[in-house]
């Protein structure tokens, strides 16, 4: 028994995801050099500034903002120190003709992540190829034109519901999002609504769990400072959590570079432009094989409330 006889892992986490601290401009340039194809999500920690999401399929000067319904705009350098969360995609985007709508896809199949660009048609039952080898468990979708909310699909909520990344509401029941159809190993299905299928340019970020690297899931809070333990199978570098039981709670993001030891208390919210906050309401531990919250706060561990997460 020795390590040389173990199989090589399909995914070495540091080669597929990074969380970085620097100025916004330095994070942008560093990530473009590190991952030649990517999704980079940058947030100014100290100031009220919008989140900025840049990907290599749309072009690295084109920005969408997770806290805004607004159309695609151009990158603006944050004024203060920032955090960047960066996912490696799969090389130059290629034409995918699996669906009734052709897509341009950069897919990192080993790491369970793809960037999918397509042109919506507001037709129920339209399908789009996502480029992954397994069923997406979470999809984050946005129209690049007009003012439309972000739509989030989660396997935990099912194919009849969607959530808005830019807002704190509970899930909406809406056939127009996913046409009440679960994604397959090659395709995801669209309804006739603008949340996922607006006429014009659309973008989707697709994720599925990969052993030892990433996890999409859910848990139920226990309302205790000795919070619910959530098993991921690895020590998280990033966790985004959303209460889907009660309206009003945001998409809380924690990472291992803003807090380098437990207990962690630095929080940003994907759905607003606020600066980073640090209070006991946000206490959490990142553990060797999962995470748990050290608070009874509503945003992460209220008793009997349910939460979805991406780690």
Cα–Cα dist 117/64, whole Å: 13
What are the tokens at 173?
């029941």
Rounded mean pLDDT of 45-56?
Answer: 93
Q: What is the pLDDT of residues 175-219, one digit of tens each?
A: 999 999 999 999 999 999 999 999 999 999 999 999 999 999 999
Q: Provide the 10 A C-beta neighbour count for residue 38.
A: 25
Q: Give me the sign of the Cα torsion angle 96, 136, 19, 258.
A: positive
DSSP 145: S
pLDDT the model gives residue 27: 78
Cα–Cα dist 244/242, whole Å: 6
Is residue 78 pLDDT above 70, yes or no? yes
Contacts of residue 26, Cβ cutoff 8 Å, sequence gap at least 6: none
Asked whether 223 and 299 are in contact (CB, 8 A), the reply is: no
pLDDT the model gives residue 210: 96
Residue among 20, 174, 181 at smallest CA distance from 99: 181
Is residue 34 pLDDT above 70, yes or no? no
pLDDT the model gives residue 25: 78
pLDDT the model gives residue 278: 83
DSSP 116: E
Q: What is the pLDDT of residues 79-100, one digit of tens each?
A: 679 999 999 999 899 999 999 9
Q: What is the pLDDT of residues 224-255, one digit of tens each?
A: 999 999 999 999 999 999 999 988 889 999 99
pLDDT the model gives residue 118: 98
pLDDT the model gives residue 257: 95
**Predicted TM-score of the model (pTM):** 0.95
- 24 φ/ψ angles, rounded to the nearest 5 degrees: -60, -40
């Amino acid at each position: 028994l020795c390590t040389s006889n173990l199989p090589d892992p399909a995914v070495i986490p540091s080669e597929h995801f990074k969380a970085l601290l620097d100025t916004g401009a330095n994070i942008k340039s560093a990530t473009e050099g590190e991952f030649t194809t990517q999704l980079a999500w940058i947030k100014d920690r100290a100031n009220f500034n919008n989140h900025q999401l840049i990907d290599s399929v749309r072009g690295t000067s084109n920005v969408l903002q997770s806290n805004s319904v607004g159309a695609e705009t151009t990158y603006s350098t944050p004024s203060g120190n920032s955090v960047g969360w960066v996912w490696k995609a799969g090389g130059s985007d290629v034409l995918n003709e699996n669906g009734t709508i052709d897509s341009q896809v950069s897919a990192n199949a080993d790491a369970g992540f793809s960037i999918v660009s397509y042109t919506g048609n507001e037709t129920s039952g339209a399908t789009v190829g996502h480029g992954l080898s397994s069923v997406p468990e979470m999809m984050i979708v946005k129209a690049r034109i007009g003012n439309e909310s972000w739509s989030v699909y989660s396997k935990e909520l099912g194919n009849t519901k969607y959530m808005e990344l830019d807002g704190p509401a509970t899930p909406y029941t809406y056939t127009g999002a996913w046409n009440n159809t679960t994604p397959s190993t090659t395709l995801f299905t669209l309804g006739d609504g603008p949340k996922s299928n607006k006429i014009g340019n659309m973008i989707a970020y697709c994720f599925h769990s990969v052993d030892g690297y990433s996890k999409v899931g859910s848990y139920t809070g226990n309302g205790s400072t000795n919070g619910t333990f959530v098993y991921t199978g690895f020590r998280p570098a990033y966790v985004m959590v959303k209460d889907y039981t009660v309206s009003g709670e945001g998409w809380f993001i924690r990472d291992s570079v803003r807090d380098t030891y437990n207990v962690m208390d630095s929080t940003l919210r994907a759905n607003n432009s606020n600066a980073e906050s640090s209070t006991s309401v946000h206490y959490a531990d990142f553990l060797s094989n999962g995470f748990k919250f050290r608070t009874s706060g509503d945003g992460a561990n209220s008793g009997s409330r349910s939460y979805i997460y991406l780690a």
